[in-house]
Structure formats: structure tokens, C-alpha cells
Amino acid sequence: MIDSDFPPEWSAQKKAQARSDFLKKLSLESHRFYAGKMQTLPRVPVGDPDWWNVWYTPGISALSTAIRADNEASFALSSRGNLVAVVSDSTRVLGDGDCTPAGGLGVMEGKALLMKYLGAVDAVALCADTRHKDGSPDPDKLIEFVKMIQPSFGAINLEDISQPNCYRVLDELQDACDIPVWHDDAQGTACVTLAALLNALLLAEKNLEDARIVFIGAGAANSTVARFIIQAGGKPENIILFDANGALYAGRNDIPPEFYRQRELCKTTNPRNIQDPAEALRGADVLIALSAPGPNRIPADWIRNMRDRPIVFACANPIPELWPADAKEAGAFIVATGRGDFPNQVNNALCFPGILKGALAVRARKITDSMAIRCAKALAEYSRQRGIDPDHIIAAINEPDLFAYEAGAVAEVAVQEHNARVIRTFDEVYKHTKKDIEAVHNLVEDMQNRGHIETFPLKIVDSIKEEIINVYKNQ
């Protein structure tokens, strides 16, 4: 739904809220029409009946014994080498909280769709019921579940796992598994946020080492953003984080041990023990908010008191903590959100297809922080090569060659760190990924042209538009 569909007298905020409701209703109806987003298709010839003897018994016995002799052969002799499990216990699905085990399927299928179309990575949505009898999450069961399925996959993408379990599940699985385990809500968000911040600082004529940065929200995403920024050169003494109970600082004693990422940040950030967000933002260069959806959770006055050319990332979804127009009016030089209908969308979809493809391309055993930070820098570099300005600090999701560029950069680091089973250069991975992505795009286009993917009925779209406009007319 575009702005021209709305009455011209509506404010930008009203249009944004109406657009969100429209997209939610359209999503529900389109998923019902298509019965989900993904399907399984063969990649081999099957028309000749003799091929069945090759793809299954008796010929398949050769694969079983070959893999038995060398499990590493499974990456080359099966789809494992390009296959990711998107795993969730659905305890924190987007901004909707606990949605029951099956409730996360829509998001997990969405991740699989983005991986396939953007990065030419095959993926399977796996929502696991790993809960106690009372319905509470059991991280031990989830960890054990992933350990059990890892022989079938080349990598694991963890998704929508509530705090503090998300930290423990990721860290334990990274140590226990011999394939990459990636937590997109935390690492993916941090990767893209760092990329966007590097370019925003460049445009503002500031540098990461000297920038004063305030975080509103200290959950899995923002705590990882802060950690990546520090590893990339930001100074912890210039960083202040706020969670729902106040500032993180050395004297905080109410943070449970299982929130160890936040406890680590308490030791290194906010050495002046500043307790008030308004005071913290006075003279700050950057505000990064990943907290509860807004609007107006961040007062515009906080922005007015920031240093010259302030950078504001208000990335709660679906409604940012502060509307971009209000941030701009308060003096923000650059504003980013998590939404695609405002300038500068900071969305983890800009990195996870590329980083997973790069890890798979060299059969990496891990995705290290240095691989993720290199992906962030590759995203920033790619964006600069095609041109940046205050309303375009980062590449869009449909930019040509973006994910191939990221994949090459990530694979290069994996090889340098002796973390790869297969040695391939940047150029080899880049060209291979670009070819794979083009093949996927051509396949989807062909399926649409031939009617194997039906066209969604326009009358349903128009009906939803009319319904939403009528609801908002009276508000």
C-alpha cells in the first residue's frame, strides 16, 4: 500500500500505522491463499524410470557406505552442503512474544524464503516443542535437539528464542557443533546495525573510536550490537546502555547471572555511572534504540540535546520508538528504522543470506565474530561503492551482487582463520554465489510465467485497502 492510496490530508504517522495494519491483513490472506511460502523440488532428472535406481535403491547404497567411511563426504554427496535449519522454540516471535511452538512457522518460513531468493541457500523451518510440561522453555532440550539434527545440515540459524535462553543456546551450540550456528536476532541485527553506523558516521564526518553512543534497550540485539561496535573499534567508555530497569554500569546488582552478556557490558561501559537517558544523550553522537515499539517512547527533546549532526536509529518494529519525521524535526542528521517504508532500513535480511552462503561455500565449522564483523564491513563497503547519502546509508535488499559480495568476504575470513574445510578465494565464492542466485531468480521467474506460482488476486488486495482506509478515516 503506497502513500497515494491514502487521503492526502493524513499525516505521515497515520499513513505508516495504516500501512502496517494493511500489510498484516494482506500477509494473513496471502499465506492462506498460497498455503505457506516454501516447497520442496527435485534438483535432478527424474523423467527416465531408470534414474530411480540411481537416486534410490540399489544405487544409493554407494552413498551410504561412502558417507559411513567419511562423514565429511555428506557435504558433497547430499544437499547438506547448502542446507540450513531455521530453528526456533517460538518463545519470542518478532514483537508478538510467545506464539506457541507452531506459531513461529510463518517467520521461519520467511527466513527460508529470504535465504533461498537472496542467497541461493536452501533452508528448512523447524519449530521445536522443547518446553517443560508447564509450557516454559527448556533450553537444554533445544540444545539437544539441534545437536541431534546437525548431521543433516550445513548450518543452523537460531531464531526467536527468548532471553536469557538465547545466549546460552547460542554459546553452547557454537562450542558443541561442528557446523556454523548463527543467531540472526542478535548477530544478524548487530551485523547490519554496525554496517549502517559505519556509513552514517562517515557522512556525519565522525569516527567510531570517538563517537559517544547511547543504547535504548539492552536485549539480545542491542547487547550484541554494542559488543560488535567495541570489537570494531568503538570505545566502551563512550557507550551507555539502558534496559527496562535503568542504565548498565558496574554497580548494577539486579541482573541475574544468566544474563551474562549484559553483566559483561556493565563492567566495561558507562564508567561515569550515568543513570538518566536524557543526561546520557546530552552531547551524544549516536542513539541506537532496539526496545519496545513506539511511537513517542523517545522524547524529541533528547534528540535536540545531542551533539551536532546526530545519528538516530529507532529500530523497534512495527512502530519505531520515535517517528523519523519527529526525529528530523528535532535535528537528527540521519535517521534509520527497521521498516522498509522509511529511508535507511536496518534489517538483518541484508546480511544473513550472504553470511550463511559464505560460510557454506567453504564448509566453515563456525561463524566467528570476526566473520560477522567482516560481513558488516563488506555491506558498508558495497553500499559506499554504489553511493551513500543521509537517506541512503545502506544498500537495499534488492541490490544486485550484494549477497555475493558478502559471501566472498565472509568465506575469505573463514579461510584466513583456518576455519574452513574447503579453501576458496573471494573471487571464487563471489562468482559461484552470483551464479547460484541468478539461477534461483530465473527459476522463480519461470515458475511465475508458467503459472506454477499463481498470481495473487488483486480484488483481495483492493478489498483490504478499502477496509483499512475506512477504519482509519474515523480516527
| pLDDT tens sequence for the chain (475 residues) | 677 788 888 887 888 888 889 999 999 999 999 999 999 999 999 988 889 999 999 999 999 999 999 999 999 999 999 999 999 999 999 878 999 999 999 999 999 999 999 999 999 999 999 999 999 999 999 999 999 999 999 999 999 999 999 999 999 999 999 999 999 989 999 999 999 999 999 999 999 999 999 999 999 999 999 999 999 999 999 999 999 999 999 999 999 999 999 999 999 999 999 999 999 999 999 999 999 887 889 999 999 999 999 999 999 988 899 999 999 999 999 999 998 889 999 999 999 999 999 999 999 999 999 999 999 999 999 999 999 999 999 999 998 899 999 999 999 999 999 999 999 999 999 999 999 999 999 999 999 999 999 999 999 999 999 999 998 887 7
Let me know: does 274 contact 247? Beta carbons within 8 Å: yes
The residue with cell 575469505 is 412
CA pair distance 359, 354, nearest whole angstrom = 9
pLDDT of residue 157: 98
Q: Annotated catalytic, 56?
A: yes
Residue 369 half-sphere exposure toward CB, CA atoms < 13 A: 14
Let me know: does 200 contact 393? Beta carbons within 8 Å: yes
> CA 362, 366, 369, 372 torsion: positive or negative?
positive
pLDDT of residue 6: 85
pTM summary value: 0.94
pLDDT of residue 47: 83
Residue 134 half-sphere exposure toward CB, CA atoms < 13 A: 2
In this structure, the chain runs to a length of: 475
Strand, coil or helix: 379: helix
Strand, coil or helix: 205: coil
Ranges for all domains in the chain classified under CATH 3.40.50.10380:
49-179
Architecture per CATH, domain 49-179, reads as 3-Layer(aba) Sandwich (3.40)
CA pair distance 407, 85, nearest whole angstrom = 18
CA pair distance 227, 224, nearest whole angstrom = 5
Q: What cell does 447 get?
A: 515458475
Which one from 37, 111, 206, 357 is the annotated catalytic residue? Answer: 111
- Residue 307 phi, psi (nearest 5): -70, 170
Ranges for all domains in the chain classified under CATH 3.40.50.720:
184-424
Q: What is the DSSP letter of 364?
A: B
- Residue 6 phi, psi (nearest 5): -95, 155
C-beta atoms surrounding 99 within 10 Å: 19
Q: What is the DSSP letter of 158?
A: E
Q: How many helices (H) and strands (E) does the chain have?
A: 18, 10
pLDDT of residue 1: 65
DSSP states along 110-129: HHHHHHHHHH--EEEEEE--
**338 DSSP β-pair partners:** none
Q: How far is CA 335 from CA 28, 206, 285, 287, in A?
A: 30, 16, 12, 10
Q: Annotated catalytic, 141?
A: no
Strands (E), 159-232: 181-183, 213-216
Among candidates 261, 98, 277, which has minimal Cα distance to 171? Answer: 261
Strand, coil or helix: 265: helix
Which one from 34, 56, 435, 473 is the annotated catalytic residue? Answer: 56
pLDDT of residue 294: 79
Let me know: does 339 contact 317? Beta carbons within 8 Å: yes
Query: What's the topology of domain 184-424?
Result: Rossmann fold (3.40.50)
